A and B are shown apart, each in its own frame.
Chain A
Amino acid sequence: MARWSPSTMILATIVTMIATVVITIAKEMSKPIKDVFVTIGGHHWVGTCIVLVIIFAIFTFIPEKTLWRKPPKVERWTWVVMVVSLLSFLAIFLFYVIHFFT
């Protein structure tokens, strides 16, 4: 089993959270895109789950040396994870609020 490095795990988490926002909005705005996720998982939400797990796994298993010569400071980037998760939450929430009222 690969030794998961903190920096690649942080990158995997950030990319997955951004992908969650992008996929969520794209699915709502475009039926063909939503149908792609239905095709993947039988239900658009299941398809989204599968894609996110794959994205997370891909980024997790990228060797640290492939990504950067000098790994970033894990403490600083953990803060970035929390900020990205909050902004992702707000982005999805605001999108659905606007979607509901328009």
Chain B
Amino acid sequence: MVHPLIGTHAGLGELAILAFLWAFVELLGPTKSRIRRAKIASLLGAVFFVLSWVTGGTYYVTQYGELVKPVIKAGAEAWAHSIVMETKEHVFLMLPFLGVLQNVLLRRMDLNDPKSRRVILILTGWIVLFALSMVAMGYLISGAYRSALEIITTGAVLLLPLGLVVMLGYFLLARGTAKPRKNVHGGI
């Protein structure tokens, strides 16, 4: 069964993406009420990033290292851990700080200035794209884990009938090459 922390981590991360996407849309045509909503959405986004960080980190430290990592590394897609997971676990650390920065800039910059408005908008969109790359990496890692498990399961499923075939073949071969028993009356 999939560990609940994985779903929680992914869910919170995706909520953060949606929140910043909401802020981005509000900032496309900023009025007083839309800026107010953008601030709420950005704050929610930053909070969700931090919660995703905590849940993902808890799963990583308590489950991933012992249970998932060895399976991926033993499978056909070891790069999913060695490159993708290693990148994700370190690059993700930048997201909560970017989220906090976006919140501060949104509250402290003059949004009547078109240059300020444009750069905040682009930063918000950038955070969305950055976070979406985390989703893509998470998908690759989960896929590699499932793929490695299928190899293990498939291997076990194939080995059993294969073993039976080998045993049957040995038995038949042994019977075929066995010397005929002499009949006590002299015939075969």
Contact = CB atoms under 8 A, between A and B. Distances in A.
Given A6-B108, A49-B93, A74-B116, A81 B83 contact: no
A79 B101 contact: no
Contacts, number: 88
A45 B87 contact: no
Contacts of B116: 74-75
A78 B103 CA distance: 13
Given A24-B90, A92-B87, A96-B83, A16 B97 contact: yes
Contacts of B83: 93, 96-97, 100
Interface string A39-58: 00001011011001000100
Contacts of B97: 12-13, 16-17, 52, 56
B54 to A, nearest CB: 10
A82 B128 CA distance: 12
B94 to A, nearest CB: 5
A65 to B, nearest CB: 16
Interface in A43-100: 43, 45-46, 48-49, 52, 56, 74-75, 78-79, 81-82, 85, 88-89, 92-93, 96-97, 99-100
A78 B105 contact: yes
Interface residues of B, number: 32
A92 B90 contact: yes
25 contacts: A4-B108, A5-B108, A6-B104, A6-B105, A9-B105, A10-B101, A12-B101, A13-B97, A13-B101, A16-B97, A20-B90, A20-B94, A24-B90, A52-B93, A56-B97, A74-B105, A74-B116, A82-B126, A85-B94, A85-B130, A93-B83, A96-B82, A96-B86, A99-B82, A100-B82
Closest 6 pairs between A and B when the two form their complex, measured CB to CB: A24-B90, A100-B82, A78-B119, A13-B101, A9-B104, A75-B119
Interface of B: 53, 57, 60-61, 79, 82-83, 86-87, 89-91, 93-94, 97-98, 100-101, 104-105, 108-109, 115-116, 118-120, 122-123, 126, 130, 133
